[in-house]
Amino acid sequence: MNDNFKVAILQLNAINNPDESLAKGIDACKKAKEMGADIAVFPEMWNVGYGMPDNDENINAWIQKSISENSDYILKFKELAKQLNMAIAITFLEKTKNLPKNSIIIYDRFGNEILKYSKVHTVDFKMEKYTKPGTDFYVGELDYERGKVNIGSMICFDRDFPESARILMLKGAEIILVPNACLMTKIRLEQLKVRAYENMVGIVTVNYANYMGKSSAFSPIVRDDNDSQILVMDEKEDIQIVKFNLNEIRDYRKRETLGDAYRKPSLYKYLSEEHIKEPFIRADSRRNLK
């Protein structure tokens, strides 16, 4: 049986105006639905176009652009998901009592929130030191009309740490969505390919257009050409649909060797203990922030 789960990559130009980003985002979701998508995914921090301030003096004005998950902006995507009968993964700078968070919410086709995640590995050596890191990784079950799929998410810098994708796999993720806002170099693309392969999951990364671009999708299944690449886009603004045959992926996960089949977690306790020492000591690291 050919059961393709279809993900719309919204590789769009960044917009630093919330009204314009809202209108453009709604239009993009409608186009994704017309293209047959089961879910539409935005780049990182869509409501502000990422748009990090370039110095400490401008940080308060930037924080004022943060919005709550119950804001009209976010709720419009919740309602849109119901109207389109299509899941939407919307990203935003989330308002909290203290520092804002870099967050994503996934609404299913009924408008139900199935997952909310805040970036754990914030870029603390740059201006993301003014965001509050998330504290866990989450997986939600998404009903996409023809079936159900377990979805997880990590955001940009999270992909540099193999633990992020590993935890999502262990929690049951079959597809991992990666909103992004940075230049996708060859090594970063290869990194995502390895994350998909070693965890036996599909991975979709959605980047901004222009000088960034190169949004991508990788399968856990290595084909006859010894590659698992489904798509790597160019730098232009575009919406592309990528398909994951879930029956094929599930069959592959049942019989192949990676993922959680032959791990030895009882021997990995050292990984969760603190051993920081030179040359990895950084004054700006927030590794123990709760």
Asked if residue 141 has pLDDT above 70, the reply is yes
Tokens, residue 231: 């798509």
78, 119, 214, 243: the catalytic one is 119
Asked if residue 281 has pLDDT above 90, the reply is no
Phi, psi torsion values for 222, nearest 5 degrees: -85, 125
Give the span between the Cα atoms of 58 and 52, in whole angstroms: 9
Dihedral of the alpha carbons of 7, 11, 16, 22, in degrees to the nearest 10:
-40
Torsion-angle region of 51 (φ positive above 0: left; ψ -120 to 50: alpha; else: beta): left
Taking only Cα atoms into account, the Rg of the chain, rounded to an integer number of angstroms, comes to: 18
Contact 48, 83 (CB under 8 A): no
Concerning whether 156 is annotated as a catalytic residue, the answer is: yes
29, 95, 128, 156: the catalytic one is 156
6, 44, 94, 101: the catalytic one is 44
Q: State the pLDDT at residue 258.
A: 94
Measured CA distances, 171 to 133, 153, 166 (Å): 20, 12, 9
Which domains, from first to last, does the chain contain? 4-272 (3.60.110.10)
Instruction: For residue 114, give the nearest of 88, 91, 133, 132 by alpha carbon.
Output: 88
Asked if residue 61 has pLDDT above 80, the reply is yes
Q: In the chain, what are the helix, strand and coil shares in percent, each to the nearest 5?
A: 30, 25, 45
Mean model confidence pLDDT for the chain: 94
Look up residue 111 and give its amino acid.
G
Concerning whether 119 is annotated as a catalytic residue, the answer is: yes
Strand partners, 34: none
Contact 234, 9 (CB under 8 A): no
User: Could you report the per-residue pLDDT of 199-232, keeping only the tens digit for each?
Assistant: 999 999 999 999 899 999 999 999 877 789 999 9
pTM: 0.95
Q: Number of helices and strands (H, E) in the chain?
A: 6, 12
Give the span between the Cα atoms of 44 and 93, in whole angstroms: 9
Asked if residue 127 has pLDDT above 90, the reply is no
Q: Mean pLDDT over residues 74-86, rounded? A: 98
Contact 244, 232 (CB under 8 A): no
User: Could you report the per-residue pLDDT of 91-124, keeping only the tens digit for each?
Assistant: 999 999 989 999 999 999 999 999 999 999 999 9
DSSP assignment of 119-162 equals: -SS--TTTGGGGSPPP----EEEEE-SS-EEEEEE--GGGGGSH
Give the span between the Cα atoms of 235 and 12, in whole angstroms: 10
